[in-house]
Structure 1
Amino acid sequence: MNLPVILIVAGAILAFALLVILVGGPSAGKAKTRRLAMVKDRHAASTEAVVAAQMRKTIQSGRAGDSSLTNLLPRREELEKRIRRTGKNWTLTQYMFATMIVFVVATGAMLVVRAPVLMAGLVGLLLSLGLPYLVVGMTIKKRVAAFNSRFPDAIDLLVRGLKSGLPVTETFQVVSQELPGPVGEEFKGVIERIRIGNTMEAALQESAEMLGTPEFQFFCITIQIQRETGGNLAETLANLSDVLRKRAQMKLKIRAMSSEAKASAYIVGALPFFVFGVVWTVNPSYLAGFFVEERLIIAGIGGLIWMSIGAGIMAKMISFEI
């Protein structure tokens, strides 16, 4: 049995072992702490304690699919928040399992085509770390774009409801029922948080942090200022809707003007890797020194560093703040 087959089998066994650990139950210490908290919640007398207990149960039920190994991740809370922002029912355990699958498949594919072990490991590591992160980022970006495209319509619906005499919370309920997609989901979440005892400002701010978009942050600030100072909320929201529509138009203009620079950046950045792949396919021995000789390895790493710096500079040049 040759070396690539051995490495593939070893990677599959390692992935299976990690999967068994991932799907394992929680530790005994955490289970004991959770039981003590449940006993305290059962005998809680104040309304605030009951609400806090209910929120704690909701959070624990949402994390039921995660295992103890995910607690070892650095910045776990930020990664969980990023996964929740996708609007999908994905868990951190599934994210880690997808990362392992990508590593095993990519490394095995590189070894099958007789690539060097170092190259196969680096490619597998880069793909396993980058591909799931990229998929999550694209899903978040798609959801935020869908939210921003329909958000002015939601504000117009709020304005019509306020002008007809409905309170703000009732107009939120109307928006959650009438508008499908991310807009309705977010307003539904706001209504649910208000019903369990949160203030309107806190419920809106939680959605704003989850979305991470300035458009909804403008809306939260408008609501908060109106509740503190008073005034015609319907007229203020109508002006905000007009501003958001003009902001979206400006973004489309900037995207059209910077599309040529983005295309050039993509071509220049992908060209060295494309040429390397073509030459490797035609004559692998010609580039084998990049994985053996120290001087060529240092030169290759230096080239990757300078390409990364150049890509960062080009990204900053075509990034515009509105």
Structure 2
Amino acid sequence: MSIQTLALAFLAATAIGGLAWVFIYPSLSGQRKAESRRASIARSDAPARQAEKTQRSRREQVEGSLKELDARRKKEKSVPLTTRLAQAGLGSWTPQKFWIVSGISGAVGFVLAFVIGGSLLGAAVMAFGTGLGLPRWVLGFLKKRREKAFLKALPDAVDVIVRGIKAGLPLFESIKVVAADSPEPLRSEFSAIIETQTIGMPLGEACARLYERMPLPEANFFGIVVAIQQKSGGNLSEALGNLSKVLRDRKKMGEKIKAMSTEAKASASIIGSLPPIVMLLVWMSTPDYIALLWTHQIGQLMLVCCVVWMTIGVLVMQKMINFDF
């Protein structure tokens, strides 16, 4: 046999072996089955990976929204007077009207203190207190009273929105129902959301601005839930239902804390009111004995020091029995 014949036979055998390796060996070794199994596993994992990617994207959106709200809150260190008037329910007032009323209050306090028989310095101090302190105290009192009324009605309003969404109404129409049937101040705040959205602002941002007019954590929760749902989607009725439960639980916790701290508040009130009550009783029984406190220079100094230290004690006790949650 010649060398050429052997070479041809070797090349033919090599070609046949290569073809067998390519087409027959995968089937015999199970490699093809393994590849098909890996492909099927990859296809079955594709929805899970997509869901994980969607969840990660939604979590990033939530973190971004929270960071944005936190940054906005930090920027608003000083609240303008216009915003404070709106928070107190005096949105129709202008800052000029507030300053005019403050000036009139200060002038009335000055005249009353001067007529009663006080000195010029005492009348000036009285005018300062009634002109700057009293209007701001009234503004804070109106703001807190309005916030309490808002918190009282907010869980029921969220439940109305949840029932409307489950019945097939859009979120905007459900908010309209709340704005039409809820008591004040909830009616005016949700009406402001509707008006803001009507002029072109997205509904999520309009709800997020509720916190600017009503600076409460509960209002912030509502704005965050709606803003996140508008950005990333999801079951809004379930999210608002959970929010309603959280609001009611916070309300229960607040009432429980209030009940537990009532004894401490009563003790603080008794301790803080004892010195002026004793002073009044002594003045009613022996006025000449206690009159040295405001007729003698050392007595006046002692009286001022007592007032300062009593004020500090009252503020410390108030700080100890007030709880933020």
2:144 to 141, 145, 152: 141
Which string of whole-angstrom CA distances, capped at 9 and with x for unpartnered residues, describes residues 164-217 of structure 1?
A: 111111211121112131111111101111111212232122221110011111
Quote the offset at 1:238 in angstroms: 1.0
Q: Which residue of 2 aligns with 1:36?
A: none
Q: Which residue of 1 aligns with 2:244?
A: 241
Q: Secondary structure at the match of 2:250?
A: helix
Pair member with larger Rg: 2
Q: Which amino acid aligns with 1:123?
A: M
In structure 2, relative to structure 1, the CA distance for the partners of 1:278 and 1:124 (3 Å cut) is farther
Q: Which amino acid aligns with 2:191?
A: K
Whole-Å separation in 2 of the counterparts to 1:116 and 1:276: 22
Q: 2:213 aligned with 1:213, yes or no?
A: no
Is the CA contact 1:280–1:287 (under 8 Å) kept in the aligned structure 2? no
Quote the offset at 1:159 in angstroms: 0.6
Quote the offset at 1:101 in angstroms: 2.4
Superposition CA RMSD, Å: 2.6
In structure 2, relative to structure 1, the CA distance for the partners of 1:133 and 1:206 (3 Å cut) is same
Is the CA contact 2:208–2:227 (under 8 Å) kept in the aligned structure 1? no
Q: Percent identity?
A: 38
Q: Which amino acid aligns with 2:81?
A: L
- What TM-score, normalized to structure 2? 0.67
5 Å-filtered alignment, 1:225-264, equals 225-264=228-267
Whole-Å separation in 1 of the counterparts to 2:281 and 2:94: 38
Q: Which residue of 2 aligns with 1:132?
A: 135
Whole-Å separation in 1 of the counterparts to 2:312 and 2:292: 27
2:83 to 74, 81, 84: 81
Quote the offset at 1:306 in angstroms: 2.9
5 Å-filtered alignment, 1:261-280, equals 261-273=264-276
Q: Which residue of 2 aligns with 1:169?
A: 172
Whole-Å separation in 1 of the counterparts to 2:234 and 2:112: 64
Whole-Å separation in 2 of the counterparts to 1:77 and 1:212: 11
Q: 2:292 aligned with 1:286, yes or no?
A: yes
Is the CA contact 1:201–1:220 (under 8 Å) kept in the aligned structure 2? yes
Quote the offset at 1:267 in angstroms: 3.8
Whole-Å separation in 1 of the counterparts to 2:98 and 2:160: 37
Whole-Å separation in 1 of the counterparts to 2:239 and 2:194: 21
In structure 2, relative to structure 1, the CA distance for the partners of 1:226 and 1:163 (3 Å cut) is same
In structure 2, relative to structure 1, the CA distance for the partners of 1:300 and 1:205 (3 Å cut) is farther
Quote the offset at 1:265 in angstroms: 2.6
Quote the offset at 1:264 in angstroms: 3.0
Q: Which residue of 1 aligns with 2:14?
A: none
5+ long unaligned stretches in structure 2: 1-76
Q: Which residue of 2 aligns with 1:100?
A: 103
Whole-Å separation in 1 of the counterparts to 2:193 and 2:235: 22
Q: Secondary structure at the match of 1:169?
A: helix
Whole-Å separation in 2 of the counterparts to 1:267 and 1:103: 31
5+ long unaligned stretches in structure 1: 1-74
Q: Which residue of 1 aligns with 2:20?
A: none
Q: Greater shift after overlay, 303-312 or 224-233? A: 303-312
Q: Secondary structure at the match of 1:198?
A: coil
Count of residues in Structure 1 that have an aligned counterpart in Structure 2: 245
Which string of whole-angstrom CA distances, capped at 9 and with x for unpartnered residues, describes residues 265-285 of structure 1?
A: 334334445566777784585
Quote the offset at 1:225 in angstroms: 2.3
Whole-Å separation in 2 of the counterparts to 1:129 and 1:280: 31
In structure 2, relative to structure 1, the CA distance for the partners of 1:246 and 1:132 (3 Å cut) is same
Whole-Å separation in 2 of the counterparts to 1:118 and 1:296: 18
